[in-house]
Amino acid sequence: GAIAGITVAVLLAVAVTDGMKSVSEGESVALPTGVTEIHKDDKIQWWYEDENNLIAEIHGVTNKRMCPGADGRFRSKLSLDDYGDLTINNIRTIHAGLYKLKISGRRRRTKYKQFILTVGVRTEKVKEGGSVTLHNDAEIQADDLILWTFGAENSLVARKDSRTTDIDESLSDRLQLNDETGSLTIRNIRTTDSGHFKLQIINSQKTTFRRFNVDVTVLVLESDCVMILIKTVFFHKTM
C-alpha cells in the first residue's frame, strides 16, 4: 500500500509541470509550445497563474494578441513568435510563477502545458577594499536616460542623459559610470555599500530594469586572531 502511494505521488508531480525555468531579474526567457506547424484554425493561449488571467494568444498564422494581465504586470513585456512561443522580456520578480498553455484546433488534439518560472536577483560578492562592476547587458541608445539608485530608499547615486553625467558627490571618488554601456563600477568598496543597486534605462519606447545585490565581506587577518587568543590565555593564567 505504501509503495503504491509513492508511485501515484511521483506521477502526479510529473503531470503538474512541463518545465521549470530559472532566470535573473532583467533577463528574458522563452517558454516553448513545441509546435512546428500552425494551421489556420489553430488557437494557442497563454495564462498566468489561472484561466482568468489571459496574457497572450494566437489565432491561426497571423492573428496575435498580447495582454497586460489582470494587474498590468505584463504590459510591454511579452512577445509571441510564429509558433506561439512566449517570450517575457526584462523580467522582474513579480513575473515569477505558473504559466499555463493551451493548444487547440480542428486538425490537432488539444494539448495543455504548464511552466514554473523562478526569478532571482543577481548577486555580486566582493571583499572590502576591492572593486566590482555591475554590468548592464542591455543596448544603450544616445537619448537614453540612465539612473542608478541604491538601497530601500532608492537614493540616486548616478545619472546620465544625452548631455551630462552626474555622480553623487559623496561617492564621486569611488563610482564610475561607463558612458557607452551604462555599467557602474564601485571602487574601494565598503561594507556600507552592501545592498541592492537598481538600474533603470528610460527612453520614449520603454523602461528597462536591472537589479543587483552587492555582498561585501570583511577580510579578517589571521594575525589579529592569534593576538586576541594570546591575551585571553594570559588573562586566565593570572587569575
| Owning domain of residue 32 | 18-120
Residue 90 and residue 208 in contact, taking contact as beta carbons nearer than 8 Å: yes
Tally of domains within the chain: 2
pTM greater than 0.85 (yes/no): no
Average pLDDT over residues 29-36: 93
Asked if 95 and 55 sit in the same domain, the reply is yes
Residues in the chain, overall count: 239
Residue 45 sits in the same domain as residue 105: yes
Count other Cβ atoms within 10 Å, centred on residue 100. Answer: 18
C-alpha to C-alpha distances, 202 to 28, 155, 160, 206, 225, nearest whole angstrom: 18, 17, 11, 6, 49
Whether the predicted pLDDT of 163 surpasses 50:
yes
Task: Tell me, yes or no, whether 145 and 208 share the same domain.
Answer: yes
What CATH number corresponds to the domain at position 130?
2.60.40.10
Q: Are residues 126 and 53 in the same domain?
A: no
4 within a domain of the structure (yes/no)? no
Residue with cell 517558454: 31
Helix (H) or strand (E) run with residue 125 in it:
strand 122-127
Q: Are residues 116 and 128 in the same domain?
A: no
Q: Determine, yes or no, domain membership for 167.
A: yes
Q: What is the tens place of the pLDDT at every residue in 208-237?
A: 888 899 999 987 665 554 444 434 343 344
